[in-house]
Amino acid sequence: MSSPSAEMQTVPPAAAQLAINTIRTLAMDAVQQANSGHPGTPMAMAPVVYELWQEFLNFDPDDPIWPNRDRFVLSAGHASMLLYSMLHLSRTKAVNPKYETLGEVSVTLDDIRRFRQLGSKCPGHPEYRLTSGVETTTGPLGQGVATSLGMAIAARWMASYFNRPGFEMIDYRVWSLCGDGCMMEGISSEAASLAGHLNLSNLCWIYDNNHISIEGNTSLAFSDDVATRFLAYGWNVARVGDANDREMLARAYHVATRSDRPALIIVDSHIAYGAPTKQDTSGAHGEPLGEQEIRLTKRNYGWPEDAKFLVPDGVYDTFAEGIGKRGHAAREAWMGKFRAYQAAYPELADHLYRMQHRQLPEGWDKDIPVFPADAKGLATRDSSAKVLNAVAKHLPWLIGGSADLAPSTKTRLTFDGAGDFSAENPAGRNFHFGVREHAMGAILNGLSLSKIRPYGSGFLIFSDYGRASIRLGALMEIPVIYVFTHDSIGVGEDGPTHQPVEQLASLRAIPGLIVMRPGDANEAAEAWRVIGELRHEPVALILSRQALPTLDRIKYAPASGVAKGAYVLADSPGGDPEVILIGTGSEVPLCVGAHEKLTAEGVKARVVSMPSWELFERQDRAYRDAVLPPSVRARVAVEQAAMLGWERYAERHIGMTTFGASAPLKELLKKFGFTSDAVASAAREEIRKAQGA
């Protein structure tokens, strides 16, 4: 993608300064009116972002989702008014959930007046989906820069898949503005290390080096030589000594676009308000300036002191003549090229369209296997591996990998041509995240936001390391796939450090995240069928290390019931049970064994497989009551995990109340009560209680 030269200036200096001060005053006024927010960074970084957007960012405000746009990520999410001001002044258009560009602007002046208020498109931190032009939700520091890495990786992979001679359809760049807090968070180190390893020359982080955090000067806790650190990571590092020096900023941006490595631009800044000696050294970083300080600052800018939310004449035109005209021309050229691309490469053009609209290719699920009944069975990590490979062959933009655990999580794509993603081979579909669970989650978010269908895997116990990224994926409603194996005390000898107990309850507590724990090979296959169709929900697929019997689906209900979250797997004659046994994952076979014992005794027992609470709760009341009749009070829920939450479905729980232990699996199952005999005994007791009530 072409970039302006360092000397290029499309706007007269006076008009540019007026636009910059408009960004600053909108931020000051919005934070003051809300009596909440962070005015400092938007004021200091206004020239930095203005120069980037006006002269370098390939972004069309009239179509903020065209596929080859540059991405701008505000990792310093507390500086949200900086982004809202840019979206407003550039007149960025709103886009609806059907990917249709609307005539109205994404951020109105009224939205800015209602900054941080209910219903405004300007919440406290930028939120994807809510505000068009926001590329990712940010706020937790470090998440934005790590997510930007996923976007840059997506560009590399998409270029390798879609580009053809004469048709460079994908070559966008990713820019991210970060601050001291982002640099302190460990996730940024994970991401920067991997970006350098992959030579992601389409990635640039702009570091606001203002030495300020909430508690005061960063010298309290942070004395890194950031430049040397990033040089060690393999980055190109530049420094701009004054955030107001637009000429030096332009030179730094120009160098970044020509770098053969990821680029870090360190921008030194401080925030001077109305009084020339007053700097942002404490509270003003995270609180309004106050009316008097705002008046003094506006006087210093030559601004009407009593004017609020003022956009002077000519400012909108300044942005229209800069990013508006340049971005529109870039987008129109791309669309013209795409029409020719459709004629020359119709299948690739169809894939690009489907990918951007989160649609699936025809026949994506045609090779999903059906597993024969087998008492010995398979670990669900093994059956999942077969299904993943069957699906990925027909879904080219399904790519992913593991946090250094693919041999254990069985998530490697093994068919011909899959390959490993690397600096030398960006076409590879197997990704190596290294031992970086937190960054992996953010990278997956960035890949998904770029419309790749990503998956990442690890042990369930280590989901805790990436929980913040998982949560943001759910908040953004993007279809990231997490494959977590080693799902219980079934890990055995590895002991309690590796045996998840509270993780299932913790993941189920995240709104919008679908948790699926299949009970045999065919449930794992059906889980992938459900996952493939998801467009707005992330999913955590929870799989076993140990083999689970593959149930005879002639004797038991079809595994297609997985799509409804829970289904009657085995029932009593006449379907009028005395007791209901509810299981997930490796505990479904225990419930089936207990059912056979109880049936032999003449007890009317029902087995319900419940791989997903979330999918079950989406069903109508009639279906849920048919599976779990309210009249049947004798119920036993069985899961090798903390039982928090199961009380909604059953009063009797067989689960974990402590951490696990290091021992062979069979000994652990006996110690903690996970046997068919124990389940049958609990069922009998619940029947007696219900009858005596």
Confidence of residue 279 (pLDDT cuts 50, 70, 90): very low
Average pLDDT over residues 495-508: 94
Supply the pLDDT for residue 683: 95
Q: How confident is the model at residue 10 (pLDDT cuts 50, 70, 90)?
A: low
Max Cα-Cα span within the chain:
90
Q: Which residue has the higher pLDDT, 665 or 485?
A: 485
The pLDDT > 90 percentage for the chain reads 89
Give residue-wise pLDDT tens across range 74-117: 999 999 999 999 999 999 999 998 888 888 999 999 999 999 99
The string of pLDDT tens digits covering residues 357-392 is 999 999 999 999 999 999 999 999 999 999 999 999
Q: Mean pLDDT, to the nearest integer, of 148-160?
A: 98
Structure tokens at 159: 């270029």
Domain coordinates of the chain in residue numbers? 13-155+173-329, 374-549, 560-692
223 band by pLDDT with thresholds 50, 70 and 90: confident
Query: Domain spanning 560-692 has what CATH number?
Result: 3.40.50.920
Cα gap 271→43, rounded to integer Å:
7
Distance CA 594, CA 255 (A): 69
How far apart, in Å, are the Cα atoms of 73 and each of 60, 135, 297? 16, 6, 28
Residue with the two structure tokens 């046994």: 581
Q: Above 90 in pLDDT, residue 5? A: no
CA-to-CA dists, residue 640 to 408, 562, 643, angstroms: 20, 20, 8
d(CA 587, CA 590): 5
User: Collapsing DSSP states into helix, strand and coil, what is residue 547?
Assistant: strand
Residue 228 makes CB contacts below 8 A (sequence gap 6+) with: none
Tokens of 306: 């009593």
Write down the pLDDT at residue 276: 38
* Residue 123 CB coordination number (10 Å): 20
- Residue 32 scores a pLDDT above 90: yes
Six-digit token pair at 493? 């000898």
**Residue carrying structure tokens 């960025």:** 92
What is the rounded distance in angstroms from the CA atom of residue 470 to the CA atom of residue 355?
A: 22
To which H or E segment does residue 154 belong?
Answer: helix 143-162
pLDDT in tens, 584-642: 999 999 999 999 999 999 999 999 999 999 999 999 999 999 999 999 999 999 999 99
C-alpha neighbours within 13 Å on the C-beta side of residue 247? 3
Q: Is 437 in the active site? A: yes
Residue 283: per-residue pLDDT: 34
Q: What is the mean pLDDT of the chain?
A: 94
What's the whole-number mean pLDDT along residues 443-450?
98
Q: What angle do CA 458, 460, 461 make, to 5 degrees?
A: 110
* DSSP β-ladder status, 567-570 and 605-609: antiparallel
Asked if the domains at 13-155+173-329 and 374-549 fall in one CATH topology, the answer is yes
- How far CA 234 is from CA of 154, 194, 199, 216, 452, in Å, comes to 20, 10, 8, 31, 26
| Rounded percentage of the chain residues whose pLDDT exceeds 70 | 96
Looking at the domain that runs over 13-155+173-329, which CATH code has it been given?
3.40.50.970
The strand ranges marked E within 8-64 are none
CATH of domain 374-549: 3.40.50.970
Q: What is the pLDDT of residue 284?
A: 40
Residue 248 three-state SS: helix
Would you call 593 helix, strand, or coil by DSSP? helix
Residue 665 is predicted with a pLDDT of 87
Residue 623 structure tokens: 């279906």
pLDDT of amino acid 212:
80
pLDDT at residue 278 greater than cutoff 70: no
CA distance 466 to 606: 37
pTM value > 0.75: yes
Annotated active-site residue in 437, 523, 526, 639 = 437
